[in-house]
Structure 1
Amino acid sequence: MRPIRHRSALFMPASNARALEKARNLHCDIVILDLEDAVAPERKTEARTAALAAMTDGGFGDRGCVIRANAAATATGKDDLTALTGSAADAVLLPKVDGVTDLIDARALLGPVIPLWAMIETAKGIVALPEIVKAANELGLAALVAGTNDLALDLRCRVDGHRTALFPHLAAIVAAARAGGMMALDGVLNAIEDEDRLVRDCLQGRDWGFDGKTLIHPSQITAANAAFGPDAAEIEWAERVVATFADPAHADRGAVRMDGAMVERLHLAEAERILALAGQR
């Protein structure tokens, strides 16, 4: 997948031509063209055709473009994955991944080139995370996406305003993503008019370790970009860490004193990641 930021990933129904055109001018980092939940059964073929056309008609500029297919176990999903082979999509998002078999089946249909993203939104998917991590590199799995709505329903848990019941499962998704060298994206918030809840969810997801958040409405982009992008203090710290290790006197040092504390090479790697996210490196 080409290097892009991933603070905000906006779902857009591929069957909605007006929405696709609008997406070309939105300030989200990633557009997810949805062929699954947001598309009525009778419009699935139309949505697939529109998504492919959007990719060949200039794409979405410097935004990443991911296409969410239908489940590989369904006839529609098989048609989706076969049609997407060789497309210009940056990745294909698989819904309701219950285990490695779902990824293997999808990869066989999609071919070896396009990266896969997996939505973890079932109890089976949570339990299968260790096996998914082991197979991630071989199967070209680049991201795990929390499907919080479906996951809560499948677990029959009650989600409060702080998502308390989902915390262990969201933490498991982040840990699996890190173990497998993948991105981790937080789930959507359906309450599109609750700005306070959105900001709280975004900050919470950032603090838990997610790289960004999936969204369902353009009005949610600004909050996600602000929460998951580095702030001025983080950028300033990162710049100083890079400068400290760039000093020839520290060329062979594994740890250096800075501002009364020790910073190590692992902090340098994090500083470089922050500056890359800020677009400075």
Structure 2
Amino acid sequence: MDPRQRPYRSVLYIPGSKERALDKARSLPVDAIIFDLEDAVAADEKDNARETLKAALAQGGYGARVKIVRINGLDTPWGHADAEAVRDMDADVVLLPKVGGAADVDALAAITGDLPIWAMMETPRGMLNAAQIAAHPLLTGFVMGTNDLAKELQTRFRADRLPMMSSLGLCLLAAKAEGLIAIDGVYNAFKDGEGLAAECAQGRDMGFDGKTLIHPAQVEIANTAFAPSEAEIDLARRQIAAFAEVEASGQGVAVVDGKIVENLHVATAREVLAKAEAILALQAG
């Protein structure tokens, strides 16, 4: 499946050390799970978390959800052991924090082999090197670490995320150039549904594939925001039909709702329908 068609609307962080949370995640309607061995796990629990997560993934039950394991950085006391453990876990992706350049991805790949790698994009150096990071042959996704990035940039909070726009844009450009998945950063106020919906809408408008989440209460909002709407699905069908009709007749130009429909619009329309079908397939499974 084209990565852009596989849904990544909701990507939920789950602590790798919490058996109850690991079990609950099996029933949540999320598209992907980040099993976290980094920020969500205290230093004295790192070793236990590694074993707890390995057992949970071996038990299975996560269905079609993409299983992503975020390890500690390789410059920490736990990073190498995490990487070696993930190599032998039932994981789909390993997520490396604070990636500053392609050499960081090389270092991880030397341990994890052919396992696909995602990069946490959360430092100024990472932003400046986004293109080279995205071009790594094992790199398949970016996750925006907006909290760490805000700290590093010394920004003030703004609901419109204006201080983040350059960084978000650089990462999106690099991801789209290489055909990567691009996941937006978290929204910290997990009880603020209206604020989350607004930020999801902004991320979707920018071109992100989905949003990282910190609480199950955020899942439905993200799933709705990053799925094709009924209006978008209807428009896609009408564009495809209008273009096909004109092609068959060999006359005129396809027009829908007063706007010309060209090949590029039809390609986008087909992507919309493919994503809608993929979401239905996930829900049915």
TM-score, normalising length from structure 2? 0.90
Deviations 1:152-182 (A, max 9, x none): 0001111212211111111111111101110
Cα distance between partner residues in 2 of 1:270 and 1:46: 46
1:106 to 86, 105, 108: 108
Q: Partner of 1:24: helix, strand, or coil?
A: helix
- Name the counterpart of 1:268: 266
Specify which structure has the bigger relative contact order, considering alpha-carbon pairs within 8 angstroms and separated by 6 or more residues. 2
Q: Select which of 85, 89, 92 maps to 2:91.
A: 89
Q: Is the 8 A contact 1:13 1:39 kept in 2?
A: yes
CA distance in 2, matches of 1:2, 1:268: 17
Distance across 1 between alignment mates of 2:167 and 2:105: 20
SS where residue 176 of structure 2 aligns?
helix
Whether 1:75 and 2:77 are equivalent positions in the alignment is: yes
* Unaligned 5+ runs, structure 1: none
Check conservation: 1:187, 1:214, Cα contact below 8 A. yes
- Cα distance between partner residues in 2 of 1:215 and 1:90: 19
Q: How many positions carry a matched residue from both structures?
A: 275
Q: Which runs of 5+ in 2 are unaligned?
A: none
Which stretch shifts more, 219-228 or 58-67? 58-67
Residue 229 of structure 1 is aligned with which of 224, 227, 230? 227
Alignment match, 1:118: 119
Partner residue, 2:157: 159
Match of 2:254 in 1: 257
Query: Which residue is 2:131 aligned to?
Result: 130
Q: Distance in 1 between matches of 2:68 and 2:200?
A: 21
> Displacement of 1:268 after TM fit?
2.3
Q: TM-score, normalised by structure 1?
A: 0.91
User: Partners of 1:130 and 1:92 in 2: how far apart?
Assistant: 20
Q: How far is the alpha carbon of 1:107 from its aligned partner? A: 0.7
CA deviation after TM superposition for structure 1 residue 120, in Å: 0.5
Counterpart Cα distance in 1 of 2:46 and 2:253: 57
- Give the conservation status (yes or no) of the 8 Å contact 2:71–2:94: yes
Partner of residue 171, structure 1: 169
Mark the CA change 1:252 to 1:64 in structure 2 (over 3 Å): closer, same or farther. farther
Name the amino acid aligned to 2:209.
Answer: D
Map 1:186-265; keep pairs closer than 5 Å. Answer: 186-246=184-244, 250=247, 256-259=253-256, 260-265=258-263
Tell me the residue number matched to 2:15: 13
Against the structure 1 CA distance between its residues 240 and 108, is the aligned structure 2 distance closer, same or farther, given a 3 Å change threshold?
Answer: same
Residues in 2 aligned to 1:277 and 1:45: alpha-carbon distance in whole angstroms: 39
Aligned-partner Cα distance in 1 for 2:30–2:219: 6
8 A Cα contact 1:59 1:65, kept in partner: no
RMSD: 2.1
